[in-house]
Structures are given as structure tokens and as C-alpha cells.
Structure 1
Amino acid sequence: MKIVFIAILAGIAVSITSCKNKGTTNGSAPQTETAGSSADASRLPVINFEEDTYDFGKIKEGEKVSYDFKFTNTGKSPLIISNASTSCGCTVPDYPHQPIAPGESGVIKVVFNSSGKNGQQHKAVTLTTNASPSTTEIFLVGEVQSATK
């Protein structure tokens, strides 16, 4: 009975110590740090924009505005942008779908269609990433003037 009990304890001990191994041992790629993991925050990617707001000034209703928001990953691990969303269909973002390595740069192109819009505009694009914080916003602002003016 003692031998069975000792064998069970030994098996549990081996299980516990093997679960503490980090990284991979089967040849697969190492895991990317994410903001939701318990990883050291200094190892996370950091998205750093040259400008987070673009003022397009005054435009006539119906015109389209396009702007490239340039950014750099100033963190220590690859930056992954998993989503870019807006509050209305008049603003469309295009973002890189591949990881951005530390020190590398990228562009998020945002197009605003002013058809049916009038007056002051403040359009936000919310980016979901593996950085901390996990969401970041960039903005297009300006004034749309009626086409009849």
C-alpha cells in the first residue's frame, strides 16, 4: 500500500514540475507576449504613433479624406493588430495583418467618406492589439461643409 501511495505522489510531483516548463520543446514557434498574459510588462509590444489625430480641415460634403497613420513598435516583442473598428461605415481603416517586429514601423490607412455628413466631424478608429493597453484610438477630425455653399 505504501509503495502505491509513494508512486502516486511521485507521479503528481513529476506532473507539477513538467507544467512549470516555459517555451516550447516540440519545435513549434515560441508564444508571443500578450497584454492579457501574466508576462512581464516590459516585454510587451508598444504601439507609438507619430500622430494620433489628423485634422483634415474643411472639405465639401461628398469628398473623401485619406490619411496614413504611421507607427513604430517600440516594445520588446512583435506587435499584433487583431482588429480596427469604427463607429460608422463612413470611416474605413486598413491595417497590417502581419506581426510588426520590435523597432519596425507600419501604417494604418484611414479613409473618411463625407457623403451625407455636415458640420464638425470627430471620427475614431479603435485598434485592438496585444500591447498594453490592449486598445488604442486614432482620430480624424475636421469640418464638412454643405455642397451647396
Structure 2
Amino acid sequence: MITKRMLIFFSAIALCAGFTVPLSASGQPTPVTGSAGSPAIFFPEKVYEFQPVVDGVKVVHDFVVMNKGTTPLLINNVRTG
């Protein structure tokens, strides 16, 4: 009985976690416009295509993020894809 409850509990957690994925995860840039007194994120380079690399080789690219708003831009929860 406990095993069945645990299965239901973890299934519910997994289902809820699936709904937390941002809708903009499609790889398409999401335009953000700022109003007066708000940050406005801007990416000068919208897309960067990495060339094929050998497994184990370190690949580096600097992604530029600019704030065109009037208040500080806070960037939280950055994930690789």
C-alpha cells in the first residue's frame, strides 16, 4: 500500500515539474519590451550555431546580454540546453 502511494506521489511531482518548463524553450528568441522604470533585455546576437567538435574538447562562446531599460536587470535560473 505504501509503495502505491509513493508511486502516485512521485508521479504527481513529475507531472507538476513538467509544467514548470518555460514556453519559450523552443529556441526562438522571446522579445521583451520594458515600460518606464523597468529592465529591458536585449541580445545583439539572436542565434549562434556551434560547429561540430570532437568529444571532450572545451567549446567556449561569450553570449552578450544587454539591459536597455532604466532599472537593473536580474538574470536568474540560467540553464544550458
Which has a greater percent of strand?
1
Give the number of the structure with larger relative contact order, counting CA–CA contacts within 8 Å between residues 6 or more apart.
2
Q: What TM-score, normalized to structure 1?
A: 0.28
Q: What TM-score, normalized to structure 2?
A: 0.48
Which has a greater percent of helix?
2
